[in-house]
Chain A
Amino acid sequence: MQAVSLSSCIRQGVVLFLLFVCPAVSAADLHELSQHRAWKALLHYEYEGFPETAVSAVKDPTFFLSESGPVDPEAELRATIAALQQRPVKPGDHALCRFPARAYWITRMTGAAWHDNVDCPEWAHWWDKHSNSSIGLVYVSGYLGNPASYFGHLLIHLDPSGKPSSQRDVGRLLDTSLNFGADIPEEDGLVKYITKGLIGGYQAMFSEAPFYRNSAVYSETEMRNLWYYRMRLADWERILLLNHLWEIMRREYDYFFIGQNCATRIARTLDLVVEQPLNSPGLPFESPEGVIRAATAVSKNGLPLLEDPEYIPSRQLVTRARFEALSEIQKNVALAVWPSIDQFQLETDPYQSLSTTDKIALIETLLSHAAFLKQTTKHEGIAEIERRLLAERLGLPTADTKFDLEPAVPVSEATPPGRFELSALHNSEHGSGLRLVLRPLHYDLLDSSTARQPAAALEVGRIEVDVGFGEPEISRVVFARVTNLQIEKNPLPLMRKYAWHVSLEAERRDLDCLDCLDLRWEFLAGKSIGKNRYTAYAMGGGVLRTQQHYDGGLALLVEAGAIVNWTSSQRMVATIQHEDASEGVDGRSTRVRVGHRIRLSRTADARIGIEGTDPGEATEISIGLSVYF
Chain B
Amino acid sequence: MIQKNTLTGILLSACLLIFGSPAIADSHGDQKINPWRHCGIGAGLFDDNGTAAAISNIIWDSGTTAVTSATASPETCSSKILETARFIDEAYDVLAIETAMGEGKHLAAAMDLVGCQSAAQQEVTAKLRHDLHGLTTRADYTTLERAEKAYSYYASLLSAASSAEGCLSS
Contact = CB atoms under 8 A, between A and B. Distances in A.
B48 interface: no
B14 interface: no
Interface string B131-167: 0110011000110000000000000000000000000
Contact of A390 (B83, B100, B108, B111): B100
Contacts, number: 76
A138 to B, nearest CB: 15
Contacts of B133: 391, 394-395
A367 B109 contact: no
Interface in B89-104: 90-91, 93-94, 96-97, 99-103
A173 B100 contact: no
A172 B99 CA distance: 18
B109 A171 contact: yes
A374 interface: yes
B162 to A, nearest CB: 20
B112 A371 contact: no
Contacts of B118: 169
B109 A371 contact: no
A174 B105 CA distance: 10
Interface residues of B, number: 30
A622 to B, nearest CB: 48
A338 to B, nearest CB: 16
Q: What is the interface of chain A mostly: helix, strand, loop, or mixed? A: helix
B136 A390 contact: yes
Nearest to A387: B141
A213 B86 CA distance: 10
Interface in A376-432: 383-384, 387, 389-391, 393-395, 398-401
Contacts of B86: 210
Contact of A212 (B87, B99, B100, B141): B87
A74 B90 CA distance: 47
B135 to A, nearest CB: 9
Nearest to A213: B90
Nearest to A174: B109
Interface in B53-89: 83, 86-87
A173 B106 contact: yes
A289 interface: no
Interface residues of A, number: 29
A394 B101 CA distance: 7
Contacts of A398: 101-103, 125, 129
B165 to A, nearest CB: 18
A364 B101 contact: yes
Nearest to A212: B91
B113 interface: yes
Contact of B109 (A212, A383, A391, A395): A212
Given A170-B108, A174-B113, A387-B141, A216 B94 contact: yes
Contacts of A210: 83, 86-87
Contacts of A390: 96-97, 100, 132, 136
A402 to B, nearest CB: 11
B136 A170 contact: no
A212 B142 contact: no
A364 B97 CA distance: 8
B100 A393 contact: yes
9 contacts: A169-B108, A169-B112, A174-B113, A210-B86, A210-B87, A212-B109, A371-B97, A390-B96, A394-B133
